[in-house]
Amino acid sequence: MAAKIIDGKQISADIRAELKAEVEKLKAKGIIVGLGVILVGQDPASVSYVTAKEKACAEIGIYSDDNRLPENTSEKQLLELISRMNKDPKINGILVQLPLPKHIDEQKILLAVDPAKDVDGFHPVSVGKMVTGQKTFLPCTPNGVVQLLLRSGVKLDGAEVVIVGRSNIVGKPLANMLMQKSPAANATVTICHTRTKDIAAHTKRADIVIAAAGKPNTITADMIKDGAVVIDVGINRVADSTKKAGFRLVGDVDFEGVSKKASFITPVPGGVGPMTITMLLYNTVESAKTASGV
């Protein structure tokens, strides 16, 4: 058996095309969709990520209010900027790129964002609504995973899902989303983590295995059953002298081995990664629609 590749790039492109059409309809009604972006410092990964988000906004017609601030920006200055964005009707979503410099309290900053503009889905109000099944902004990477599964025709209703990883960004919210009483969920979910005694005992019975542990080869072929669906959220750098950069990107899954046994699998790169920014754009468009009463 050779697994079918779930092409995150193509699915992401399809969703962005749908969003572009929605943005154009809103513009025709005089509604401009706006995203406020805040980056403090010059962390290379953050700079790259924010640049990609700004490019994606431009591609589908979203106005981007870009704020790249120096490393020594004070917490007070950052809170004042967020307060301005909260009050600005042209801004439908606010993105504060993490991590922030050590002298700034990340929790205080995230709490300062108006929940109505929390397009990252990190505010406790958004998290609480997600857990209780209310309409809210869903965290971008977990929602991207769900969209990949749904648009690939993978059945979630009644499925046994094992998530390896319990982070606040992926593992915990994804588990909550998949267990909701909803046509796009209704799964039975198990979370494994560093204290799980025998991860393979759980993954071997799973219809869907989602790896979000942050460690290469966390999931190997002997850990899944034939025909399982495998979603790889991990992004890890491993040394590779054949590459110009001196490294290559791999996920948390042994792709070569697992792809011979699974029914569906996501590659790294090109699987979950492209979906994260796309779902941020989706949340921003939804925020604009809600704010304008559309």
Question: Three-class SS of residue 159?
Answer: coil
d(CA 55, CA 136): 25
pLDDT tens digit at each of 294 positions of the chain: 699 999 999 999 999 999 999 999 999 999 999 999 999 999 888 898 899 999 999 999 999 999 999 999 999 999 999 999 999 999 999 999 999 999 999 999 999 999 999 999 999 999 999 999 999 999 999 999 999 999 999 999 999 999 999 999 999 999 999 999 998 999 999 999 999 999 999 999 999 999 999 999 999 999 999 999 999 999 988 888 888 888 888 999 999 999 999 999 999 999 999 999 999 999 999 999 999 988
The pTM of this model reads 0.95
Tell me how far apart the alpha carbons of residues 216 and 251 are, in angstroms, rounded to a whole number: 6
Give whole-number Cα distances, 96 to 32, 129, 205, in Å.
Answer: 21, 21, 39
Q: Which residues of 244-280 are buried (b: 16+ CB within 10 A; e: fewer)?
A: eeeeebbbbbbbebbbebbbbbbbbebbbbbbbbbbb
- What domains does the chain contain, in order, with CATH numbers? 31-116 (3.40.50.10860), 140-271 (3.40.50.720)
99: preceding bond cis by omega (within 30 degrees): yes
**Among 188, 192, 184, 200, which residue's Cα sits nearest to residue 159?**
188
Is the bond leading into 269 cis (omega within 30 degrees of zero)? yes
* Residues taking part in catalysis: 53, 97, 120
99: Cα within 13 Å, side-chain hemisphere: 5
